[in-house]
Amino acid sequence: MNKKSLVMLSAVVGMTIGSCNKSNTAGVFDDNNPLIANWEGEYQVPPFEDIKISHYKPAFEYSIKEHKKEIEAIANSEENATFENTIVAIENSGRLLQKVAKTFFPLTSTDTNEEIQQISQEIAPVLSEHSDNIKMNDKLFARVKKVYDDYKTPSVETPSLTAEQKTLLEDTYKSFVRSGANLSKENKEKLKDINKELSVFSLKFGDNLLAETNNYELIIEDKKDLAGLPNDLIEVAAEEAKNRKKEGKWVFTLDNASVMPFLQYAENRELRKQIWEAYQKRGNQDNALDNKQNALQLANLRLQKAQLLGYNNHAAYVLEESMAKTPENVTRLLQQLWTPALQKVKAEATDIHAMMQRDGINETVQPYDWRYYAEKIRKERYNLDEQELKPYFSLENVRQGIFDVTNKLWGLKYAELKNMPKYHEDVTVWEVKDKDDKKIGLLYMDMHPRASKRGGAWMTSFTDQYIQNGKNVMPVVSIVCNFTKPTASAPSLLTFDEATTFFHEFGHALHGLLSNVNYLSLSGTNVPRDFVELPSQVLENWASDPEVIKMYAKHYQTGEVIPDALIEKMKAAGTFNQGFATIEYLAASFLDMKFHTIDQPIKTDINSFEKDAMSNVGLIEAVIPRYRATYFSHIFAGGYSAGYYSYIWSEVLDSDAFQAFKETSLFDQEKATLFRTNILEKGGTEDPAELYRKFRGADPKIEPLLKKRGLL
């Protein structure tokens, strides 16, 4: 994924189970606080227009107090501990707190400002303490353990549990143990301090990265320096300059929609170098926004936490709950792919160097040369120019293509709702229905960059599906992307990679929308990190299939369907530059694992640590990891620590899964139903490996992935 990070929210909300003291706030709680009120409407959408920033802290404080009362009632109950009065009671507690958190935390990524960031930094340690106070509550854990032990050695009187109930019991017990319930009193206090620090350093890392990205601008005054750039990119840069009171100039930023095409097309090598240096030095400039110490502290604190809980390292702690299970299994997969990918990227570097020499440049290939010359080689070798494709991939056409694909697979229907509450004017809201017109949920789409929004693409949710008092609570999910804004002369036009990203995030949304479980903590995307990418990545396969491309790739001006000749060119170039794409991703995955398999605190400089890690795997100098340490938000500000590998792990699954459709038909109804009922609807209610086998009838094979990436 470009991505994403849908996990940032789930990680923070996952912490929202615990206690806080009254503190000074930018507002006083009153009964009219809309975050506490009952929300109207069948979807229970947050009343964004009524919510003020001053409402958040009082709402957090009030809802934490209410949750604490609920937990104390469970812990102090004199009734015999049972599955219903203990496990289910814990599961159902804190609904008000979750409502507040699910409203607030998505906005910290999509529509933030200094006030919101300040509240985040103040509330994060409070929520961390609140969670710890529950998970380290001896009375509460004694009741949980009693129920757990009863079912490990059931008696005649022990009621039987469904598969979903067994998972909830197992997960609840493990969550207490993995949160320190078995530690001594002294070590519990140590763990609480570590958790508070982790929450603060993670927020600082993300806030610094957003500010560093927003602070940079490449201002071009001379039109000749725009040579090679596509007209639509130039037009967007002129709009950006106008918005920044620099009319008559052109401004390029570090948003992906700006910097990446600049690196791909700008003929001026010095300017490419300039913007590239700014991009890859984010958080690494020894200024107030520097992230080196934040990354160092996060890695070392995670090690302390893991070892306090009895694990060798953070990766061992994290991966215990994943499909991969161990760091060794992750490393084995990465190395299996690294060898053929490294061979391929070296051949690609040789081709780039040869073309640079033809241009009279006798230097070694630099990272800021790669995208530019790769694009020139693509044009020469395949007669394919990405700019030739973009008119066929308007945002509206790609969206309709996704709607059509999911309708053919599962009968889903979509209708835009104009009167729903929205947190920003750019957002659109869609009602999703099943083939029998039964309402499924709401889908928010937030597609364009702005200063208040972090970069990348992700899915999140305001409400997850579950059953409450016998009634199905419908999900409200959101897709967030950063695609180029429409201009006066053209709609938002996507590269094919961006179109694929749209399909990807929609796959995550389906995982949330089609969830059909009883318990909130097992709903939708609440699954192991290396399984959560399966629904998103499998949908990417439809995006690139020639039959599907012809369904949605239509010229935004003429309505002409993309010509077969262009599709053939895309197909021929399908594995072009995959050595680079695979290596930069794998390098970041190795870097993630290096940070989180340490068994002693890092004492060296972060840059030296990263350099050693990349040298050890043999990364060539012309390529850097997709994310360097100081802007690797997936692992330092999101939920992917020791988990960035999961995209490629899931790609093994998705390549094998799509092969099941290719063996029959793209819209095979039997396969689609099996995928929906065993993957999309099940959430985290069963072991993911078993769910996959129920869908596919066998374990996944790696060969379809190697073939797709051209690595065989």
292-306 burial, b if ≥16 CB within 10 A, otherwise e?
bebbbbbbbbbbbbb
- CA-based nearest residue to 496, from 571, 440, 434, 422: 571
Q: Is 505 a catalytic residue?
A: yes
Q: Are 270 and 276 in contact (CB under 8 A)?
A: no
Half-sphere exposure of 462 (CA within 13 A, CB side): 27
The DSSP symbol for 493 reads B
Q: Are 658 and 548 in contact (CB under 8 A)?
A: no
400 burial (CB, 10 Å; 0-12 / 13-18 / 19+) is middle
Q: In whole angstroms, what is the distance from residue 111 CA to residue 449 CA?
A: 10
All residues at 6 or more sequence positions from 217 whose CB lies less than 8 Å from its CB, including other chains = 244, 251, 252, 253
All residues at 6 or more sequence positions from 675 whose CB lies less than 8 Å from its CB, including other chains = 538, 657, 695
- Tokens 């029998």, residue? 436
Count, residues in the chain: 712
Q: Which of 129, 386, 505, 540 is catalytic?
A: 505
**What is the number of other CB atoms lying within 10 angstroms of the CB of residue 311?**
18
* DSSP notation for 431-468: EEE-TTS-EEEEEEEE-S--TTS-SS-EEEEEE--EEE
Q: In whole angstroms, what is the distance from residue 653 CA to residue 689 CA?
A: 10
All residues at 6 or more sequence positions from 203 whose CB lies less than 8 Å from its CB, including other chains = 117, 120, 121, 124, 637
Q: Alpha carbon of 162 to those of 40, 305, 518: distances in Å?
A: 34, 34, 11
The CA dihedral of 664, 666, 667, 670, to the nearest 10 degrees, is 30
- CA-based nearest residue to 4, from 466, 504, 406: 504
Q: In whole angstroms, what is the distance from residue 280 CA to residue 207 CA?
A: 17
- Tokens 């399909």, residue? 503
Q: In whole angstroms, what is the distance from residue 526 CA to residue 10 CA?
A: 8
Q: Which are the catalytic amino acids?
A: 505
